[in-house]
């Protein structure tokens, strides 16, 4: 996997160096936060339709052993796709500012061993093994800024956003389930993903992307 990722970065460098300086219609992005914070690699593509409008999409994938840090589970896979429409606020400026609308879909599946969870009734259990599934659909409005030199093929794009998400968390095929007493947790959000749940919640985007122009 490391060899494949190294080859991909090399391809980006070749594309960037061969691009016409100052005249680009495409951008490839690589998330700087995703492999460290979200346990997955996130790669995206942006295409300029005209001076104001851009279309883009991002695809993220992760499993145990792919990233520097990973969830402490026997095995897991995370897949996410995020199509996005960008509007340039200052197309004639060297410093590009974008407002964008983004839809995202995430699917996270894993095998949990000797852990605990709460079901939708609030009952707390210890279990020997279970299949864990988390899905999320989200819609957000983002602001991003393109930090680069016109003569360079490389740059950075900080991004922040807020929106709403629908999340569904389920534990299936639970083996060796026993009633337990839930520990007191002053910061309740810390074990939020260990609860079966379905509903809407706020959604936040914070990222810094490496960009490759061509």
In tens digits, what is the pLDDT along the chain, a chain of 214 residues?
A: 545 544 555 555 455 445 444 568 899 999 999 999 999 999 999 999 999 999 999 999 999 888 887 766 678 999 999 999 999 998 888 788 999 999 999 999 999 999 999 998 889 999 999 999 999 999 999 999 999 877 788 999 999 999 999 999 999 999 999 998 877 766 555 467 889 999 999 999 999 999 999 8
Joined together, the tokens standing for residue 57 give 């999409």
Structural fold of domain 2-213: Porin (2.40.160)
Q: Which residue has the tokens 């060899």?
A: 3
Domain coordinates in residue numbering, the chain: 2-213
pTM of this prediction exceeds 0.95: no
74 CB neighbour count, 10 Å cutoff:
11
Q: How far is CA 18 from the centre of its chain?
A: 29
Joined together, the tokens standing for residue 146 give 């393109």
């Amino acid at each position: 996997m490391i060899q494949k990722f190294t080859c991909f970065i090399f391809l980006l460098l070749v594309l960037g160096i061969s691009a016409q300086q100052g005249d680009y219609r495409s951008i490839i992005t690589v998330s700087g936060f995703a492999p460290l914070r979200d346990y997955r690699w996130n790669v995206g593509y942006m295409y300029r339709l005209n001076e104001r409008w851009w279309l883009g999409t991002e695809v993220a994938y992760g499993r145990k052993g792919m990233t520097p840090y990973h969830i402490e589970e026997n095995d897991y896979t995370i897949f996410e796709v995020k199509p996005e429409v960008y509007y340039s606020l200052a197309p004639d400026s060297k410093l590009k500012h974008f407002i964008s609308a983004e839809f995202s879909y995430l699917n996270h599946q894993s095998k949990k061993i000797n852990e605990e969870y709460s079901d939708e009734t609030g009952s707390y259990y210890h279990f020997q093994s279970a299949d864990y599934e988390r899905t999320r659909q989200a819609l957000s409005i983002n602001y991003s800024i393109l930090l680069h030199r016109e003569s360079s093929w490389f740059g950075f794009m900080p991004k922040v956003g807020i929106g709403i998400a629908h999340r569904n968390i389920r534990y299936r095929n639970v083996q060796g389930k026993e009633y337990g007493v839930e520990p007191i947790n002053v910061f309740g959000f810390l074990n939020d993903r260990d609860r079966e749940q379905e509903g809407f919640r706020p959604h936040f985007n914070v990222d810094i992307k490496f960009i490759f122009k061509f």
